[in-house]
């Protein structure tokens, strides 16, 4: 058979037989939560595929041209060549619009899957030794994803993305000592800057994807080498991993998941309009779209800007503006704490052992409480990032909504953290998880007509899903 001949040929040239069989027989544990990272991986592949198509049509130029395409409301208007090229891609290139919308939706799914994956790894303690490297790489990928998203949606040079770029320029400007120089070097001069679209393009289609590819490769290699964590179950030990072999069962499932992810994102891209730049209009520096919101994974940064007080500082005749703290210092701190969490936790708990068993959130109430604090913090900030839209929806003034949000930003995390801690501790201290199947007891009728117990199985603490698996 041809496959066997191929393996034979590889072995004769690369001495690869043991490598092939070892890796094809490698065991991958099953758990639905492992899908999250895979979905992130596959959305990235889809981003590369659709993005390559888009890059064949995009023109990174602020050269003014007259729009003459089929979209009537803009006909005769002066727009940049970049905006014109995206309009052409959307309205005149066959399958262009669906590709563009799939690309944008894939970016939203990519970031969502990364966030869900980070949350899963955090709450199950899967970042503990020896997996700190994967965690650090993962946080790096999250940051790169934010960068990829921002540089990407800034490319069409529409009114909405122009506002985002203007804010980014102002944030760079606010850096002490070197901010002015950095902003001028990155934008090529004073805003809007002659070279910015070209630089965004190089970042978006070369530098950031290359970095993501590299880190993703390392992330997967480390996971492959270290094996997955697993929940505790009868018959499982710290030293073993139980699951299905890579080939063919796991591979088919995973390829199936990849294609299904592609399909769902394609459906979103086909049916749900996203980033309709023709409705926003071309970017002009003297007008701002209202309301203007960034994509959600940047929404929390926008929310920080909206809620932050009007603090401006003066030191030795210099100015530190209102933007530095909320847009650079606070996010920097948040990401530092997030990245260092495995080390902080090991230090606080004094636990420097290896852990191959994943934990349930209830097994680590303090960690889970901190996780809940972080999640509440992010949720409030994302709401704040769309405060005008949400306030309008709720029918209240933006100003009073801001007051509510400021209080919630402090009280929400405290409340969610305390409740989580209380629930986790309560569950941990119960002998049996309330949602677990009742222990199975087998009786036998004896000669006297009564019943005697012959076999009892006490469920392992809190393994509801495992209980179901075995039935």
Partner 1 sequence: MRRASLVVAIAFGAATLAALGLFVVYIAGGQPQVEGALLFVALAGIGAGLMVWATRLMTGIGQITQSRRHAQPPEEKEAAAEAMAGGVEEMSRRRLLFRLLLGAAGALGLAAIFPIRSLGRAPGASLFRTEWRPGLRLVDVDGNLVTRDTLEVDSFTTVFPEDAVGSGDSQAVLIRVQSGSLQLPADRLAGAPDGYVAYSKICTHAGCAVGLYLARVHQLRCPCHQSTFDVLNGAQPVYGPAARALPQLPIEIDADGTMRALGDFTAPVGPSFWDLPP
Q: Choose which of 4, 18, 32, 317 interacts with partner 1 (CB under 8 A).
A: 317
Residue 76 interacts with partner 1 (CB under 8 A)?
Answer: no
Closer Cβ to partner 1, 292 or 416, answer by number = 292
CA torsion through residues 181, 185, 189, 192, sign: negative
Closer Cβ to partner 1, 289 or 437, answer by number = 289
Q: Choose which of 186, 296, 335, 357 interacts with partner 1 (CB under 8 A).
A: 186
Q: How many other C-beta atoms lie within 10 A of the C-beta of residue 291?
A: 11
Interaction residues for partner 1, span 373-402 (CB under 8 A): 387-388, 398-399, 402
Tokens found for residue 188: 């090529």
Residue 151 interacts with partner 1 (CB under 8 A)?
Answer: no
Nearest approach, Cβ of residue 417 and partner 1 (Å): 27
Closer Cβ to partner 1, 193 or 361, answer by number = 193
**Non-local CB neighbours of 230 within 8 Å, separated by 6+ positions:** 29, 31, 236, 241, 242, 243, 356, 357, 358
Interaction residues for partner 1, span 10-49 (CB under 8 A): 25-27
230-231 vs 27-28, strand pairing mode? unpaired
Residue 275 interacts with partner 1 (CB under 8 A)?
Answer: no
- Judged by CB under 8 A, the number of residues near partner 1 is 103
Closer Cβ to partner 1, 9 or 270, answer by number = 270
Closer Cβ to partner 1, 304 or 424, answer by number = 304
Interaction residues for partner 1, span 226-255 (CB under 8 A): 226-227, 235-236, 238-245, 248-250, 252-253, 255
Binding mask 395-434 for partner 1 (x = CB under 8 A): ---xx--x--------------------------------
Burial of 94 (0-12, 13-18, 19+ CB in 10 A): exposed
Closer Cβ to partner 1, 37 or 193, answer by number = 193
Q: Choose which of 76, 286, 447, 452 interacts with partner 1 (CB under 8 A).
A: 286
Nearest approach, Cβ of residue 284 and partner 1 (Å): 7
Residue 346 interacts with partner 1 (CB under 8 A)?
Answer: no
199's enclosing H/E stretch is helix 196-202
Q: Choose which of 95, 210, 396, 419 interacts with partner 1 (CB under 8 A).
A: 95
**Non-local CB neighbours of 46 within 8 Å, separated by 6+ positions:** 102, 106, 261, 262, 265
64-66 vs 78-80, strand pairing mode? antiparallel
Q: Choose which of 269, 361, 371, 386 interacts with partner 1 (CB under 8 A).
A: 269
Q: At what angle do helices 365-385 and 398-429 cross, to 10 degrees?
A: 160
Q: Choose which of 320, 338, 366, 460 interacts with partner 1 (CB under 8 A).
A: 320
Cβ 466 vs Cβ 231: under 8 Å: yes
**Non-local CB neighbours of 3 within 8 Å, separated by 6+ positions:** none
Question: CA neighbours within 13 Å on the CB side: how many for 259?
Answer: 5
What DSSP letter does each residue of 145-166 carry, written as one string? HHHHHHHHHTTT-BHHHHHHHH
């Amino acid at each position: 058979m041809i496959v066997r001949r191929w393996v034979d040929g590889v072995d004769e040239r690369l001495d690869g037989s043991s490598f092939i069989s070892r890796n094809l027989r490698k065991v991958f544990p099953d758990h639905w939560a492992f899908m999250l990272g895979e979905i992130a991986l596959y959305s990235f592949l889809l981003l590369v595929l659709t993005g390559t198509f888009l890059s064949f049509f995009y023109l990174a130029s602020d050269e003014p041209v007259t729009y003459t395409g089929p979209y009537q409301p803009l006909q005769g208007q002066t727009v940049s060549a970049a905006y014109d090229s995206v309009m052409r891609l959307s309205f005149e290139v066959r399958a262009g619009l669906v590709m563009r919308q799939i690309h944008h939706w894939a970016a939203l799914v990519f970031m969502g899957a990364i966030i869900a994956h980070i949350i899963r790894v955090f709450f199950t303690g899967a970042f503990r030794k020896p997996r700190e490297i994967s965690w650090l790489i993962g946080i790096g990928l999250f940051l790169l994803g934010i960068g990829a998203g921002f540089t990407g949606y800034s490319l069409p040079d529409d009114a909405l993305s122009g506002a985002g770029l203007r804010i980014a320029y102002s944030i760079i400007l606010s850096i002490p000592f070197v901010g002015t120089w950095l902003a001028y070097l990155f934008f090529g001069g004073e805003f809007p800057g002659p070279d910015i679209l070209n630089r965004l393009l190089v970042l978006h289609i070369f530098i950031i994807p290359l970095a993501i590819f590299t880190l993703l490769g390392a992330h997967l290699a480390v996971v492959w080498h270290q094996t997955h964590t697993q929940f505790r179950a009868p018959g499982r030990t710290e030293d073993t991993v139980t699951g299905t072999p890579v080939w063919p069962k796991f591979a088919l499932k995973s390829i199936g998941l990849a294609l299904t992810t592609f399909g769902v994102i394609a459906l979103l891209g086909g049916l749900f309009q996203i980033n309709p730049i023709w409705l926003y209009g071309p970017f002009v520096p003297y007008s701002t779209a209202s309301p203007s919101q960034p994509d959600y994974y940047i929404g929390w940064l926008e929310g920080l800007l909206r809620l932050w007080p009007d603090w401006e500082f003066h030191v030795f005749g210099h100015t530190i503006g209102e933007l530095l703290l909320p847009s650079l210092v606070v996010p920097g701190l948040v990401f530092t704490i997030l990245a260092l969490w495995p080390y902080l936790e090991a230090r606080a708990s004094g636990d420097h052992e290896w852990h191959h068993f994943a934990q349930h959130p209830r097994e680590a109430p303090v960690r889970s409480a901190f996780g809940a604090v972080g999640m509440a913090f992010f949720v409030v900030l994302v709401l704040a990032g769309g405060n005008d839209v949400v306030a309008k929806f709720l029918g209240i003034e933006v100003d009073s909504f801001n007051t509510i949000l400021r209080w919630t930003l402090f009280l929400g995390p405290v409340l969610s953290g305390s409740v989580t801690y209380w629930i986790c501790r309560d569950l941990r201290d119960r002998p049996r998880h309330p949602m677990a199947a009742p222990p199975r007891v087998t009786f036998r009728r004896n000669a006297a007509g009564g019943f005697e117990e012959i076999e009892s199985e006490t469920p392992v603490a809190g393994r509801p899903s495992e209980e179901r698996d075995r039935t």
